[in-house]
Amino acid sequence: MSNQRARQLLDQINTLAPSNPFKIMNVCGGHERTINLAGLRSLLPGHIELIPGPGCPVCICPEETIAMAIAIALNEPVVVVTFGDMLHVPINTARGEPRSLEQARAAGANIHPIASPLEARTIALRHPTQQVVFFMAGFETTSAPTAALIAEGIPDNLLLLLAARRTWPAVAQLLNRDQAGFDALIAPGHVSAVMGSDEWRFVAERHQRPVAVAGFDAASLLAAICSVTQQAINGEATLVNSYPAVVTPSGNRHAQHLIDQTFTTVDSRWRGIGTIPASGYALKKKYRLHDAHIHFSKYSAQSHHKDEMPPGCDCAKVILGKEPPDHCPLYGTACTPSNPVGPCMVSDEGACRIWWSSGLHKQRRAKQA
Amino acid sequence: MQITEIDGDLASCHSGGITRTVNLFIFERGVLKPGDYVLVHVGYAIQKIDPEAAQLAWETEREMQGAIRGDPNA
Ligand code: SF4
Distance separating alpha carbons of residues B60 and B50, to the nearest angstrom: 16
Contact B44 A190 (CB under 8 A): no
Tell me the mean pLDDT in the region A44-59. Answer: 91
**Best CA proximity match to A203, nearest among A253, A233, A169, A227:** A169
DSSP H or E segment with residue A120:
helix A117-126
Q: Do A148 and B49 make contact, defined as CB atoms within 8 angstroms?
A: no
Bridge partners of A268, per DSSP, are A276
Determine the Cα–Cα distance for residues A245 and A220; give it in Å rounded to an integer: 10
Q: What is the pLDDT of residue A2?
A: 62
Q: Above 70 in pLDDT, residue B74? A: no
Q: Tell me, what's the pLDDT at A361? A: 67
Through-space distance between the first and last CA atoms of chain B, rounded to whole angstroms: 32
Q: Are strands B37-41 and B44-49 parallel, antiparallel or unpaired?
A: antiparallel
Tell the residue nearest (CA) to atom 7 of ligand 1: A342
Distance A74 CA to ligand 1 centre (A): 27
Q: CB within 8 A of A241, min separation 6: which ones?
A: A192, A197, A212, A213, A247, A249
d(CA A218, CA A122) in angstroms, rounded, equals: 37
| Average pLDDT score over residue span A55-73 | 94
What residue owns the CA closest to ligand 1's atom 3? A313
- Tell me the CA–centroid distance for residue A335 and ligand 1, in Å: 6
Report the distance separating Cα A236 and Cα A230, nearest Å: 8
Cα A218 to the chain's mean position, in Å?
Answer: 20
Q: How confident is the model at residue A6 (pLDDT cuts 50, 70, 90)?
A: confident
- Per-residue pLDDT for A75 more than 90? yes
Closest CB to B47 among A118, A193, A242: A193
pLDDT of residue A306: 76
How confident is the model at residue A4, as a pLDDT?
80
**What's the CA gap between A233 and A207, in Å, rounded?**
16
Given a cut of 80, is residue A19 above it in pLDDT?
no
CB contact B67 to A (< 8 Å)? no
The beta strands (E) that lie in chain A are given as 22-26, 48-52, 78-83, 111-114, 131-138, 158-165, 184-187, 211-213, 239-241, 263-270, 274-283
Q: What is the pLDDT confidence band of residue A1, given thresholds at 50, 70 and 90?
A: very low
- Backbone dihedral angles phi then psi of residue A273, each to the nearest 5 degrees: -115, -45
Instruction: Give dist(CA A356, CA A360) in Å, integer.
Output: 5
Q: How many domains does chain B have?
A: 1
The residue among A325, A300, A52 whose CA lies nearest residue A163 is A300
CA R_g for chain A: 21
**Contacts of residue A145 in chain B, CB cutoff 8 Å?**
23, 26, 41-44, 46
Does residue B6 fall inside a structural domain? yes
pLDDT above 70 as % of chain A: 96
- The Cα A295–Cα A160 span in angstroms is 10
List Cβ neighbours of A207 (8 Å cut-off, separation of 6 or more): A175, A180, A237
**Which residue of A85, A139, A141, A192 is the best one to mutate when testing the B interface, meaning the one whose CB has the most B CBs within 10 A?**
A141
pLDDT digits (tens, 9 = 90+) for A193-230: 999 999 999 999 999 999 999 998 888 999 999 999 99
Ligand 1 geometric centre to CA of A90 (Å): 11
Task: Determine, yes or no, domain membership for B74.
Answer: no
Ligand 1 cavity residues, CB under 6 Å: A 313-315, 318, 325, 328, 330-331, 335, 341-342, 344-345, 352
> Residue B48 falls within a domain, yes or no?
yes
The span from the CA of A51 to the CA of A172, in Å, is 16
pLDDT band at B70 (very low <50, low <70, confident <90, very high): very low
Whether the CB of B56 is below 8 Å from some CB of chain A: the reply is yes
Cβ-based contacts of A152 with chain B (< 8 Å)? 9, 25
Residue A191 makes CB contacts below 8 A (sequence gap 6+) with: A28, A139, A140, A141, A167, A199
pLDDT attached to residue A18 = 73
A310 alpha carbon – ligand 1 mean position (Å): 9
CATH number at residue B47: 2.30.30.140
A88 Cα to the center of ligand 1, angstroms = 14
Instruction: Tell me the mean pLDDT in the region A281-292.
Output: 97
Interface membership of B6 toward A (CB under 8 Å): no
Is A336's Cβ below 8 Å from some Cβ in B? Answer: no
- B8 in contact with A, Cβ within 8 Å: no
CA distances (Å), origin A339, targets A89, A91, A103, A314:
11, 14, 13, 16
Q: Is residue B59 part of a domain?
A: yes
Residue B68 has a pLDDT of 45
Domain range for residue B65? 2-69
Reported as a single tens digit per residue, the pLDDT across A309-352 is: 999 999 999 998 899 999 999 999 999 999 999 999 998 899 99
pLDDT in tens, A220-276: 999 999 999 999 999 999 999 999 999 999 999 999 999 999 999 999 999 988 999
Q: What is the pLDDT at residue A230?
A: 93
Burial of A152 (0-12, 13-18, 19+ CB in 10 A): middle
**A195/B contact by beta carbon, under 8 A:** no
Q: At what angle do helices A29-37 and A218-234 cross, to 10 degrees?
A: 100
Residue B35 resides in a domain: yes
Give A187's strand partners: A213
